[in-house]
Structure 1
């Protein structure tokens, strides 16, 4: 970053008086902190990385105290960074504020194939950290495993279920599967049934796999009691409250069966617990509309069943479906898999955690295995006049939230990658149209041209800002504003 950006960042931090998901503060007035390994690991493992600011003291009301020696500090921090696996390469910036020297160390996110980044002195399991709010937290064994599973291409869906045999598969379901396979994959259907079952990941050496049991088993929960859906309806907007009669849930159900059975029963549970409205258009035609677009709901539940984690680490973790008065949440074990980020969902082909389950359900349900689910959710919510779906991936959990308020009500925002602080300030300030000069003054930068090229233009490209005069973008009367339905995250 530039020195002026560092100065503005320090001013914002001291004004807000807090660390952030991507900002760690260190006093460094009397020397270099002895253990930066946790933060170096956490930022390297975090999407977008993070910044360590040296020369600010949290304990004295976020006072700018300055560092002891900017040159030696950079040397010592680099020495600690060399003890990480993979090696971390900080990018330093030095600036002077109120006669005090402050230093920033920008830590880039490491490549997915090198994660988790960890301190070599503690080892992979004890030396890997993740950022949670303003704290560096040790990674769980499962979080470390998730990276290893991707790098080593471990296919947990193909685990043999040792207590099962081919008699554990439903003969009627198998017959239907083979029938549909002839239409979907006629060349494969010419092979002997035993070979088809192996090639499609349903059996391994004659023993049913997790995928086979979950798709075609007579009763999958005999082997995996928690590979199911727990569905609940909550009275209000918070989990754990009690209804007017003291009940914890208005409705709740554990939904079991094969993946196709779970899908249909979960959708039935949601249908009976959401509101319906009759809409009359200008021509007097009546149409029923559900509280949430069911096509979007189906895609979300189906995605949870296909893309959840099926490793031994999550055998005891069901998918959760919770209906609140203002929203629907669907949560599955297993965060985002592989290289994809939240911003890329539905825009690029993603790495698939469970390709055999995805392929099997494509045959059985006619579902598409080409990353079309998320765009369908986005389009359906927009068509229904509802806020965008919120996608979250946190500590081994993936959650999708649909809000039932119309877009004209209180705005809700989808989760995306954290924006730089200056951009967040601009979005906050541009709730009403502002000129480039006004924006530059507000964030404390002398050059409006620099503000436009560095911050405003990227926000325009992201759709987070709009121009009042889009036909003449360079007009001296041009102003910028936050369009309805977007804002500061």
Structure 2
């Protein structure tokens, strides 16, 4: 640090991330402040301040003070590993600055006391905060705890057998033993009980036991949340949730449409599907499941896609090092999802997402720590340059102020742009040959219920026309 940075800190005053002590501060006081900062958001501890005036007072013996700082770091349990202190000359006196990085990997104590920073003070960690911090930093694993009130029979053993039968190197081992090895079952008093990881991965009804373990997916018409939206609450075990989210994305993400010389239709999603899959799997694999008041939220807006996960970034991972740092609070869940074939999505990490959005000429994703969690935002393609060919779109995912999926866009394109007076189930089936007829029927029914189309006729003779807009 430089002299002016120290003066600026003293001018701005103490805070959650800034504290100072006199030049002869005892080891215990230094240790207490460093541990409190390590259990909070990190910070800077300045040594050599005249506490009465909050002005530079200096350190008589910098070498002895360095020894006291080292002794303080070693007095913390577990020992606090931090960068060497900076020795800075400020106003003709020698001072010292200790940097405690945020996102430390453990929960730290001094003489058995666990503290954190609350405003400008060191305060005891509240039990609930303490428990959350232990889970977040991996000192205690929530996923390895048995599910309260659950039995082995609450797992879907057909899915367990399907999973274990495809594992290599596990020949002759019973499904129960495989789940024990994977951290999905635990033995207590001679009986087997599902862990939180086991329930999340294989439970018949995980949300019965772990509230908030679902995903809420929604498409909004504009740039902000509004009254008009399409929503889907996605429950069930985690592998099923991932697959259902993928279906939602395929149905809900807008597509640019082009016609080639032979009139073949080519399409491109507004966001690279592989990148969004990676972010969804990472959210499912790494969120904090001990927080049961909220689930993962996936929101599509007209200009961006947001995925918000409960709980802060795990362990030493921060927004600044998220590309390079690797840490998982849910190692059992990660392992099983990898066994199931999601490894390609877990293995690349954020760097793979960055490469994909760059390849598609999209803005860099924005990573944000919120008050209660973590959010990643993907922004769709900016306006094309004047010399670049425009990619025509049907309706941009919105019609008359209401969000519509791509199949519904095809139906409206057939009626409006292609000037057909009516459309039948068969017409839309030809436009979407790979989609089940029941799905198309529901798309039509949705458009009718929202006053966009009117159904005429009955059964085989039925067809749909555009409802006149007042």
**TM-score if structure 2 supplies the norm length?**
0.62
Instruction: From 3, 8, 16, give the equivalent of 1:6.
Output: 3
8 Å Cα contact 2:216-2:231 kept in structure 1: yes
Q: CA deviation at 1:235?
A: 5.4
| C-alpha separation in 2, matches of 1:383 and 1:69 | 54
| C-alpha separation in 2, matches of 1:18 and 1:352 | 36
8 Å Cα contact 1:197-1:203 kept in structure 2: yes
8 Å Cα contact 1:390-1:401 kept in structure 2: yes
Instruction: From 242, 247, 254, give the equivalent of 1:268.
Output: 247
Aligned runs of 1:341-420 on 2, under 5 Å? 341-342=318-319, 344-345=321-322, 347=324, 350-368=326-344, 371-393=347-369, 397-406=373-382
Aligned match of 1:445: none
Offset from partner CA, 1:235-258 (integer Å, 9 cap, x none): 5545xx6x4xxx2x5233322111
| C-alpha separation in 2, matches of 1:347 and 1:110 | 16
Q: Please state if 1:95 is matched with 2:95.
A: no
The RMSD of aligned alpha carbons is 4.8
Instruction: From 93, 99, 105, give the equivalent of 1:107.
Output: 99
Q: CA deviation at 1:79?
A: 7.6
Query: Unpaired segments of 5 or more residues in structure 2?
Result: 386-470
Q: CA deviation at 1:330?
A: 1.4
Larger CA deviation: 378-387 vs 279-288: 279-288
Distance 1:373 1:119, change over 3 A: same
Instruction: From 188, 191, 203, give the equivalent of 2:173.
Output: 191
8 Å Cα contact 2:278-2:346 kept in structure 1: no
Offset from partner CA, 1:418-464 (integer Å, 9 cap, x none): xxxxxxxxxxxxxxxxxxxxxxxxxxxxxxxxxxxxxxxxxxxxxxx
Q: CA deviation at 1:105?
A: 1.9
| C-alpha separation in 2, matches of 1:23 and 1:209 | 37
Offset from partner CA, 1:392-415 (integer Å, 9 cap, x none): 456763332212243989xxxxxx
Instruction: From 187, 196, 219, give the equivalent of 1:210.
Output: 196
Aligned match of 2:153: 167
User: Highest CA radius of gyration, 1 or 2?
Assistant: 2
1:371 aligned counterpart, secondary structure: helix
Aligned runs of 1:16-27 on 2, under 5 Å? 24=18
1:263 aligned counterpart, secondary structure: helix
Q: CA deviation at 1:295?
A: 0.9
8 Å Cα contact 1:274-1:290 kept in structure 2: yes
2:56 aligned counterpart, secondary structure: coil
8 Å Cα contact 1:220-1:258 kept in structure 2: yes
2:150 aligned counterpart, secondary structure: coil
8 Å Cα contact 2:277-2:345 kept in structure 1: no
Distance 1:68 1:381, change over 3 A: same
2:266 aligned counterpart, secondary structure: strand
Aligned match of 1:123: 113
Residues paired across the two proteins, number: 373
8 Å Cα contact 1:116-1:128 kept in structure 2: no
Query: Unpaired segments of 5 or more residues in structure 1?
Result: 58-63, 410-489
Q: CA deviation at 1:171?
A: 4.2
Larger CA deviation: 214-223 vs 334-343: 334-343
Aligned runs of 1:7-86 on 2, under 5 Å? 7=4, 9=5, 24=18, 40-41=34-35, 43-45=37-39, 49-50=43-44, 52=46, 66-68=55-57, 71=60, 82=72, 85=76
Offset from partner CA, 1:451-479 (integer Å, 9 cap, x none): xxxxxxxxxxxxxxxxxxxxxxxxxxxxx
Aligned match of 1:486: none
| C-alpha separation in 1, matches of 2:221 and 2:243 | 24
1:359 aligned counterpart, secondary structure: helix
| C-alpha separation in 2, matches of 1:140 and 1:282 | 67
| C-alpha separation in 2, matches of 1:357 and 1:161 | 15
Q: CA deviation at 1:109?
A: 3.7
Aligned match of 1:335: 312
| C-alpha separation in 1, matches of 2:222 and 2:126 | 32
Q: Please state if 1:304 is matched with 2:300.
A: no
Aligned match of 2:266: 287
8 Å Cα contact 2:116-2:122 kept in structure 1: no
Q: CA deviation at 1:18?
A: 5.4
Distance 1:352 1:116, change over 3 A: closer
Distance 1:386 1:253, change over 3 A: same
Q: CA deviation at 1:228?
A: 0.8
2:305 aligned counterpart, secondary structure: strand
8 Å Cα contact 1:23-1:53 kept in structure 2: no
Aligned match of 1:224: 210
8 Å Cα contact 1:74-1:92 kept in structure 2: no
